[in-house]
Amino acid sequence: MLPLINIYFKHMKNENPIGLFDSGIGGTSIWKEIHLLLPNENTIYLADSKNAPYGLKSKEEIIELCIKNTELLLHKNAKIIVVACNTATTNAIKELRAKYEVPFIGIEPAIKPAANLSKTQTIGILATKGTLNSALFHEKLSFILMLRLLNK
């Protein structure tokens, strides 16, 4: 994720904040890395603990919550939004990118790097039901399985 953040932020000069949201406080680890890489940037972190956990909600509910979070961050003049939640990313990032002009960075399960680093080609995945049931998760998983078959 870190090289991607550098690409997004390389040319940003304005004082508007970087907005981040998660369904709770887990995304603070993402905020910490952004702050370490870009110490002069203003940031806003939205922890939607009122509606947590997102993982038990329907895709439609997750999209609705992500739109509300995005609207709040845009009201605060966020110049870019980091969706610091696997469940929110895998269920709503496509809709958010289609609806808004602001750039979005999503956080996805690191299936490919984990599979590539595994000596046994076996990995464990800890994720919410919402992430595991998402189309984006299955696209990533299918891609990895296809690569494995092609490499045999």
Answer whether residue 1 shows pLDDT above 50.
no
Is the separation of the CB atoms in 19 and 100 below 8 Å? no
With a CB cutoff of 8 Å and minimum separation 6, the contacts of 90 are: 106, 108, 109, 130, 131, 134, 135, 136, 137
Predicted local confidence at residue 32, as pLDDT: 96
Q: What is the pTM of this model?
A: 0.76
Structure tokens at 105: 């960075």
**Could you report the per-residue pLDDT of 45-63, keeping only the tens digit for each?**
999 999 999 989 999 999 9
Residue type, 94: K
